[in-house]
Amino acid sequence: MEEFIRRVMDAFLQGGVEDVVAALCKGGMSAPEAEMMIKERCDNLAVAMYSEYLKEVDRQVRNDLENRKGWVVNKRRDSRSILSIMGNVEYERTYYHNEGTGEYRHLSDDVCG
């Protein structure tokens, strides 16, 4: 969990928060320009947070051997992209095979919906 929080905070700080504050304080920017700049940075931060959340869910499922009995990792780092209202969210997830039923599934999708 601490690693997840650190990654989200890194995304927040790398998202250009300082640039936004500096640009707003410097002035010379119209209200619509400021609004667009703030929205872009917020969307970028939201995309980064969403991506980190999805990665964290996948990590927790992968490490929870008790709740995924019968499921074995078939493929790690299976790339996925979701177009959200905030932008394109890219992440990697784990693909599993159930040796008893022969079924294949991304178990983190069951958690995230």
| pLDDT tens, residue by residue, 26-40 | 777 787 887 888 888
Measured CA to CA, the distance from residue 45 to residue 54 in angstroms comes to 14
Taking the alpha carbons at both ends of the chain, their separation in whole angstroms is 21
Query: Residue 80, Cα to own-chain centre: how many angstroms?
Result: 11
Measured CA to CA, the distance from residue 93 to residue 75 in angstroms comes to 9
Given pLDDT bands bounded at 50, 70 and 90, which one contains residue 22?
confident
Number of domains observed in the structure of the chain: 1
The pLDDT score that the predictor gives to residue 84 is 92
Q: Return mean pLDDT, the chain.
A: 85
Full domain range(s) for residue 78: 2-112
| pLDDT tens, residue by residue, 64-102 | 999 888 999 999 999 999 999 999 999 999 999 999 999
The pLDDT score that the predictor gives to residue 39 is 86
What does pTM read for this prediction? 0.75
